[in-house]
A and B are shown apart, each in its own frame.
Chain A
Amino acid sequence: MTITPEIVAEHGLTPDEYQVILESMGREPNMTELGIFSVMWSEHCSYKSSRVHLKKLPTSAPWVIQGPGENAGVIDIGDGQAAIFKMESHNHPSYIEPYQGAATGVGGILRDVFTMGARPVANMNALRFGEPSHPKMRHLISGVVAGIGGYGNCVGVPTVGGETNFHAAYNGNILVNAMTVGIANTDKIFYSAAAGLGNPVVYVGSKTGRDGIHGATMASAEFTEDSEEKRPTVQVGDPFTEKLLIEACLELMASDAIVAIQDMGAAGLTSSSVEMASKGGVGLELVLDDVPCRETGMTPYEMMLSESQERMLMILKPGREAFAEAIFHKWELDFAVIGRVTDTGHLVLKFKGETAADIPLAPLADKAPAYERPWVPTPKRADIAAPTGGDLGEALLKLVASPDLASKRWIWEQYDHMVGADTIGRPGGDAAVVRVHGTKKALAITTDCNPRYCFADPVEGGRQAIAEAWRNLTAVGATPLATTDCMNFGNPQRPEIMGQFVGCIEGMAEACRALDFPIVSGNVSLYNETNGTGILPTPAIGGVGLIEDYDQRVGMAFSAAGEAIILIGETRGHLGQSSWLRVVHGREDGPPPPVDLAAERRTGDFVRAQIRAGAVTAAHDLSDGGLLVAIAEMAMAGGTGATIEAGDGSTGWAFGEDQARYLVTTRDSAALLAAAKAAGVPAQAIGTTGGDAVSFGGGSVPVADLRGAHERFLPELMDR
């Protein structure tokens, strides 16, 4: 078959990129070879638009064992143990087929983590839906939530938290970002670099079918009205097989039989074999006749581009095939030796006795396109004159009932968030808390991003996303250690979109450095546009922190009456881009609140130290909705009201979203205020817990009314 310009275009390659392929090959590629180049050089696999900017992110710290570049990031959590984690997007498939799209997103991120030797202990997610009233949205919400639950519940990994926002910008392109955290021993971490001339290449897991062919290419293009026709490129997940694969892989990993291992994710057998060989600087020869296939008559092109789920590729030590095979057969999984490691530096595919492809690996990796796309900075927004007046109590009820701030119980009660019996901070808090099994340690986990902030000011929004993740971990008493990022943006070929990307990276990098909170893994999802309209820039951040002794953790619930409520940090009353402005006045105006990273660090370190010292009975970070919403959340969680004496009764005081702030409760306010003064941290006693209402200058709202309003949104939307 001759390669025409049309075929090249159908594979998502530009004429220039094709020219590089011709030069690398020294001849015209065949279809299989073209297909391999096409997926490896897709935006999804090659990061061709984002690579030059991603390099600006700080990725190291003394506790980082593995930064970006492997299947997931690895950090040291002491005692010879490591936390391994990553977040990944599954946006396009989830819009086309929400249940399977979301389910396979969970499956894929789980594999990224257990392929490195970790037992997955927690799943999280970050979801962005369109307007609740959009005709497709209930279908998308119910499908995505059921898909995440259907997969995570079956594999037996608790889904312990996340975040969910609603905005019209996601009407035609929802975001489904899934994160997995696992735990491994530091001396049992597995990497993907192939090695050892002649070593067997082994395929395990499910059989290969025709599903998901060109999924990575689909994820690298904009949506149009006929996107529904792409449904066949969405893969179908089988969480039961995944569970077996987890157990079989971990059982084999307990031995010394594995040289290298990688899951078959996007671009399946192609990306796993190419990446393993490239990282190891070796060649691979695969005999495709030996690939376990689900369908008859599959061609090399189809086998190499299939995205069938629940498959892994391993390089074993010589002579260990029978030992490994016995484990996989015990778990009723396919096991096949499909090739050998070679020293040719080529990926050679044999099929029916002939060479189906022969690609030099060095150019495939080294000559992968990298673009410095043109970009323009996002113009700064002018300050706004925020409206004044209005009933604070009424506004508070509206805010806690609004889609973004309303309880997400309807979602997380469909997730088994307790399996494993180590979830000690359940969904609904600042961060989820999961014990490191059999120890006094626990991991705190959060996902955060305010896309409206990022849209108004990408640099400030990028800073804020990192700072908020750091703050949420701090608020439960954890030391924030590292993050994973899931960069969801529109079409990078538009300079203003690229400007959003560059801006967010700049802000994130600055915040990561200031807070010693490096990025150790992540994923970029571009072309999140439908018919030329982009989503809000959404750099979703997954943060992980360590609690050395979980008896020292705190929650956000008011735990007793008569305790002092202390506001820590400085309140200026910033209302630009606030939830109040959006929910009460229908405006998304002004600049987002500025982030003072030195103040973040100072207040956060102070709050954490007070939590560790046992001086604090509850803590909560202030974010969307500001002070009164935070008080209401603490009151609802504890079933106890509060009387707030401080404040000028202004909307800026009540609902401003100034950063670097926390609320804590204490039995000894004098000591806490003195400690804050000594640490140079602004702190003010603003009221007392107790009663069955949240009362403040200018209003009083019964906790029962708050709860009623807070719990209403999703059940009313979804159960009608």
Chain B
Amino acid sequence: MKTAVIVFPGSNCDRDMAVALRDATGREPAMVWHRDTELPDVDLVAVPGGFSYGDYLRSGAMAARSPIMRDVIDKAAKGVAVLGVCNGFQILTEAGLLPGALMRNANLSFICRDVDLVVENAQTMFSSRYDQGSTVRIPVAHHDGNYFADEATLDRLEGEGRVVFRYAQACNGSRRDIAGIVNDAGNVLGMMPHPERLIEAEQGGTDGKRLFEGLVAALG
């Protein structure tokens, strides 16, 4: 599996994502600067966490309009897998690749802690190494993780099995406790929790590692 990590001004989980991808695939991901206009030939594009453009205007809003995003949108339409974590999820919603929006946490504070996630759909290319309905522990670290979409959209996401991860306990005010969703084609995942932060036992757990192992299994 060949991978790329997009780097925006203010990305700060780009290295962590690169380490997780390198460990899972055995090869270095391409680090792609946001001003580039064309992605290298890859099977997966990761949009990492951080504070692209300092979260100014709205988290993810400016990064979604960076030059490289046009090609990310094109490649996603052609079936290339796209993984957006935290700020990456915010960018994917702002870019229109995923429905809904991430609002300020309900308690208005930044939240950094391990949370339990229920795997609602273990059939996606991102979640195939998890057991359907199981609970996994992955950290969150965000100020704007409060997922919002209108009721019809939420019903559609639920009905189509596109809610992949759900918080086991209320975390940030997200509608229906949604933590991660896929697009209708199933090749774009956005999630607020950080799987790349729990891939080694020393970090406090390895539940995040299985997401990357699942991608390797699906994409070679």
Is residue B19 within 8 Å, beta carbon to beta carbon, of the partner chain?
Answer: yes
B51 at interface, CB cutoff 8 A:
yes
Are B19 and A421 in contact, CB atoms less than 8 angstroms apart?
yes
Question: Known pairs A156-B12, A240-B9. 15 more at Cβ < 8 A?
Answer: A153-B141, A154-B51, A156-B50, A241-B54, A243-B9, A243-B54, A244-B9, A415-B112, A416-B110, A416-B141, A419-B13, A421-B199, A421-B203, A423-B203, A550-B202
A414 at interface by CB-CB < 8 Å: yes
Interchain CB contact under 8 A, A420 and B51 = no
B194 within 8 A of A: yes
Q: Mark A408-434, 1 if CB is under 8 A from B, else 0.
A: 000011111111110110100000000
| Chain A residue contacts of B194, Cβ below 8 A | 418
| A149 and B53 in contact, given A331-B9, A421-B196, A424-B203 (Cβ under 8 angstroms) | no
- 12 of the cross-chain contacts (CB-CB < 8 Å) are A156-B50, A156-B51, A240-B55, A243-B9, A244-B10, A414-B109, A418-B194, A419-B16, A419-B49, A419-B197, A421-B199, A423-B203
Nearest neighbor of A412 in chain B, beta-carbon distance: B112
Q: Which residues of B contact A419 (CB under 8 A)?
A: 12-13, 16, 49, 141, 197
In the bound complex, do residue B139 and residue A240 qualify as a contact, i.e. CB atoms below 8 Å apart? no
**Interface flag for A155 (CB, 8 Å):** yes
- A-facing mask of B168-206, CB < 8 A → 1, else 0? 000000000000000000000000001011010011100
Of the candidates B139, B141, B199, B202, the one having the most CB atoms from chain A within 10 angstroms of its own CB is B202
Q: Does B27 contact A (CB under 8 A)?
A: no
Give the distance in Å from the alpha carbon of A426 to the alpha carbon of B197 in the complex: 13
Check A332 for interface membership: any CB of B closer than 8 A.
yes
Residues of B within 8 A of A423 (CB): 203
What is the interface of chain A, defined by CB distance below 8 A to chain B?
146, 149-150, 153-156, 238-241, 243-244, 331-332, 412-421, 423-424, 426, 435, 550, 719
Give chain A nearest CB distance to B47 CB in angstroms: 15
Shortest CB distance B172–A (Å): 12
Kindly provide the distance from the CB of B55 to the nearest chain A CB, expressed in whole angstroms: 7
Does B113 lie at the interface of the complex (its beta carbon under 8 Å from any beta carbon of A)? yes
B38-61 CB mask vs A (1 if < 8 Å, else 0) is 000000000001110111100000
Cα of A406 to Cα of B200 in the assembled complex, Å:
30
A246 to chain B, nearest CB (A): 10
Q: Give the Cβ gap from B99 to chain A, nearest Cβ, in Å.
A: 27
Q: What 1/0 flags go to B84-98 for Cβ under 8 Å of A?
A: 000000000000000
- A332 with B202: in contact, given A146-B109, A413-B111, A418-B112 (CB under 8 Å)? no
Report how far A421 CA is from B199 CA in the complex, Å: 9
Q: How many of chain B's residues have a CB under 8 angstroms from any CB in A?
A: 31
Asked, given contacts A243-B12, A550-B202, whether A418 binds B51 with beta carbons under 8 Å apart, the answer is no
Closest to A414 in B: B110
Query: Please, which residues of chain B bring their CB within 8 A of the CB of A156?
Result: 12-13, 50-51
A13 vs B12: C-alpha distance when bound (angstroms): 44
Q: Contact between B51 and A153 (Cβ–Cβ < 8 Å)?
A: yes
Q: Which of A146, A150, A331, A414 contacts B111 (CB 8 A)?
A: A414
- Say yes or no: A243 contacts B112, CB within 8 Å: no
Measured CB to CB, the nearest residue on chain B to A153 is B110
Interface contact B110-A240, CB-CB below 8 Å: no
**B143 at the binding interface (Cβ < 8 Å):** yes
Contacts of A416 in B (CB 8 A): 110, 112, 141
Within 8 A of A (CB), among B100-117: 107, 109-113
Docked complex Cα distance between A150 and B12 (Å): 14
Let me know if A243 and B51 touch, CB within 8 A. yes
B10 touching A154, Cβ below 8 Å: yes
Residues of A near B20 (CB, < 8 A) are: 421
Contact B55 A154 (CB under 8 A): yes
In order of increasing CB-CB distance, the 10 nearest A-B pairs are: A156-B12, A240-B54, A421-B16, A154-B51, A416-B141, A424-B202, A414-B110, A416-B112, A149-B110, A421-B197
B35 to chain A, nearest CB (A): 8
Known: A153-B143, A154-B10, A243-B12. A413 touches B112 (CB 8 A): yes
By the criterion CB–CB under 8 Å, are A418 and B54 in contact?
Answer: no
Collect the chain B residues with CB atoms within 8 Å of residue A413's CB: 111-113
Can you name the residue of chain A whose Cβ is closest to the Cβ of B200?
A: A421
Q: In the assembled complex, which residues on chain B have CB atoms less than 8 Å from the CB atom of A239?
A: 51, 54
How far apart sit A638 and B173, CA to CA, in the bound complex (Å)?
Answer: 29
The docked-state distance in angstroms from the alpha carbon of A421 to that of B143 is: 19
By beta carbon, the residue of chain B nearest A442 is B202
How close is B51's CB to chain A, nearest CB, in angstroms?
Answer: 4
A418 to B112, CA, bound (A): 8
**Which residues on A sit within 8 Å (CB–CB) of B12?**
154-156, 243, 419
Q: How far is B143's CA from A146's CA once the two chains are assembled, in angstroms?
A: 11
For A241, list chain B residues within 8 Å (CB): 54
Among B9, B20, B55, B204, max chain A CB count under 10 A is at B9
Closest to B19 in A: A421
- Determine the distance from Cα of A544 to Cα of B24 in the docked complex, in whole angstroms: 33
Contact in complex: B110, A243 (CB < 8 Å): no
Identify the closest chain B residue to A157 (Cβ): B12
Check B139–A418 contact: CB distance below 8 A: yes
CB neighbours (8 Å) of A418 from chain B are 112, 139, 141, 194, 197, 203
* Pairwise interchain contact A240-B10, C-beta atoms closer than 8 A: yes
Q: Which residue of A lies closest to B111 (CB)?
A: A413
Measured CB to CB, the closest approach of chain B to A35, in angstroms, equals 32
Bound: A424/B202 CA distance, A: 6
Q: For B54, give its contact among A149, A238, A331 (CB under 8 Å).
A: A238
Residues of chain B lying within 8 A (CB to CB) of residue A150: 110
Q: Residue on A with the closest CB to B51?
A: A154
CA distance A493 to B111 in the complex (A): 44
Counting chain B CB atoms within 10 Å of each CB, the highest count among A241, A420, A550 belongs to: A420
Assembly CA distance A153 to B203 (angstroms): 19
Query: Bound complex: CA of A518 vs CA of B109, how far in Å?
Result: 38
Cβ of B10: which chain A residues have Cβ within 8 Å of it?
A: 154, 240, 243-244
A243 partner residues in chain B, CB cutoff 8 A:
9-10, 12, 51, 54
A240-B10, A414-B111, A416-B110 known; A426+B202 contact, CB < 8 A: no
Q: Nearest chain A CB to B115's CB is how many angstroms away? A: 11
Residues of A near B199 (CB, < 8 A) are: 421
CA distance A332 to B10 in the complex (A): 11
How close is B44's CB to chain A, nearest CB, in angstroms?
19
Give 1 or 0 for each of B135-146: 1 = CB within 8 Å of chain A CB.
000010101000
CB distance from A140 to the nearest CB of B (A): 16
Give B126 Cβ to nearest chain A Cβ, in Å.
19
**Which one of A156, A238, A719 has the highest number of Cβ atoms from chain B below 10 Å of its Cβ?**
A156
Contacts of A417 in B (CB 8 A): 112
**Given A240-B53, A240-B56, A420 and B16 touching (CB < 8 A)?**
yes
For B55, the closest partner residue in chain A by CB is A154
Chain B window 1-32, contacts with chain A (Cβ cutoff 8 Å), 1 for yes, 0 for no? 00000000110110110011000000000000
Chain B residue nearest to A238 in the complex (CB): B54
The interface residues of chain B lying within 8 Å CB-to-CB of A414 are: 109-112
C-alpha spacing A426/B113, complex, angstroms: 10
Q: Residue on A with the closest CB to B113?
A: A413
Q: Nearest Cβ in chain A — how far from B106, in angstroms?
A: 12
User: Please, what's the 1-or-0 string for B115-156, where 1 marks a CB less than 8 Å from any CB in chain A?
Assistant: 000000000000000000000000101010000000000000
Residues of chain B lying within 8 A (CB to CB) of residue A420? 15-16
Report the minimum CB–CB distance from A98 to chain B (whole Å): 15
Bound-state Cα–Cα, A243 to B13, Å = 12
> Which residues of chain A are near B141, meaning CB under 8 Å?
153, 416, 418-419
Contact yes or no, B202 A435, CB < 8 A: yes
Q: Within 8 Å CB of B50, what residues of A? A: 156
- Compute how far the CA of A704 lies from the CA of B194 in the bound complex, rounded to whole angstroms: 29
Q: Which of B12, B16, B107, B196 gathers most chain A CB within 10 Å? A: B12
A331→B10 CA distance, assembly (Å): 10
